């Protein structure tokens, strides 16, 4: 178990010297300055799960990267999107990939999507006193379960969904998802909704942009990944 919450924060000479520059809302301003953003979206369609993300990584008003990878393969049938702190998210990607690989080597079969979700939830919950700063979408297709989409929170909550969005641009994406989603979508229809949802966030959310990554995880055959360049 991590012990970071036992470590007391310390002040630097710089922070003490320049404290006079802060106003009464210094804590609020600091939280706002350190806030990062992104847009990640997922939905379930007929015999497939489709996940999509933008490509921009931001640090407050600074665009840190225009080619950030927010869509990650965990296993052939299992993909995950990440939002929030990059270091925390990448650590969880590596851990989940390793744990699911060990599971499959030991049992000689693919791990269920819900089992992988529960494994990730346990890791997050064990560290809830000093939580990972992340928002995750886990999606995949297994023979027993069919297409499964899980919205997983920083404290370990698991919310099975037909569609969901996570990140600073999620409110704009939800407007499109709520209006356009229906049962038994084809893969083509699902991709069109994902693209429109993320595009609406890119137009309105400063922290989202620089194109769209999409992964289609199907019941049969390998997942299909695609990058879509859009005008901003």
Q: pLDDT for 113-145, tens place per residue?
A: 999 999 999 999 999 999 999 999 999 999 999
Q: Which residues contact 112 (CB under 8 A, 6 or more apart)?
A: 142, 144, 145
Is 38 one of the catalytic residues?
yes
SS3 163: strand
Q: What is the pLDDT of residue 38?
A: 92
Check 38, 39, 40, 100 and give the catalytic one: 38
Q: Give CA–CA dist 27/166, Å, rounded.
A: 25
Nearest to 138 by CA among 49, 47, 36: 49
pTM for this prediction? 0.83
Across the chain, the runs of DSSP E, i.e. the strands, are 40-45, 48-54, 57-59, 62-65, 71-75, 78-84, 134-142, 146-152, 158-160, 163-166, 212-218, 224-228
| CATH number of 41-228, picked from 3.40.50.300, 3.60.20.10, 3.30.360.10, 3.10.110.10 | 3.60.20.10
Residue 19 has pLDDT above 80, yes or no: no
Which tens digits make up the pLDDT trace of 57-101?
988 788 989 999 999 999 999 999 999 999 999 999 999 999 999
Q: What is the pLDDT of residue 214?
A: 97
What does the pLDDT average to over 192-215? 95
Q: Give CA–CA dist 40/38, Å, rounded.
A: 7
Q: Give CA–CA dist 193/190, Å, rounded.
A: 5
CB atoms within 10 A of CB 229: 9
Q: Binning pLDDT at 50, 70 and 90, where does residue 36 land?
A: low
């Amino acid at each position: 178990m991590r012990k970071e919450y036992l470590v007391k924060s310390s002040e630097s000479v710089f922070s003490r010297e320049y404290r006079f520059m802060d106003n009464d809302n210094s804590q609020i301003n600091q939280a706002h300055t350190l806030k990062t953003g992104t847009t990640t979206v997922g939905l379930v369609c007929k015999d497939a799960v489709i996940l999509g993300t933008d490509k921009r990584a931001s640090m407050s008003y600074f665009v840190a990267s225009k080619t950030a990878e927010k869509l990650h393969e965990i296993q052939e049938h299992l993909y995950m999107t990440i939002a929030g702190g990059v270091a925390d998210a990448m650590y969880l990607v590596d851990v989940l990939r390793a744990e699911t690989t060990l599971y499959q080597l030991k049992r000689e079969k693919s791990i269920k999507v819900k089992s992988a979700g529960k494994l990730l939830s346990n890791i997050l919950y064990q560290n809830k006193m000093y939580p990972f700063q992340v928002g995750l979408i886990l999606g995949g297709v297994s023979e027993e379960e069919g297409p499964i989409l899980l919205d997983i929170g920083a404290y370990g909550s698991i919310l099975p969904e037909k569609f969901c969005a996570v990140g600073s641009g999620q409110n704009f994406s939800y407007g499109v998802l709520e209006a356009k989603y229906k049962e038994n979508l084809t893969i083509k229809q699902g991709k069109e909704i994902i693209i429109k949802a993320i595009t609406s966030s890119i137009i309105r959310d400063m922290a989202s942009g620089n194109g769209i990554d999409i992964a289609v995880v199907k019941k049969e055959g390998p997942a299909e990944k695609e990058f879509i360049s859009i005008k901003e």
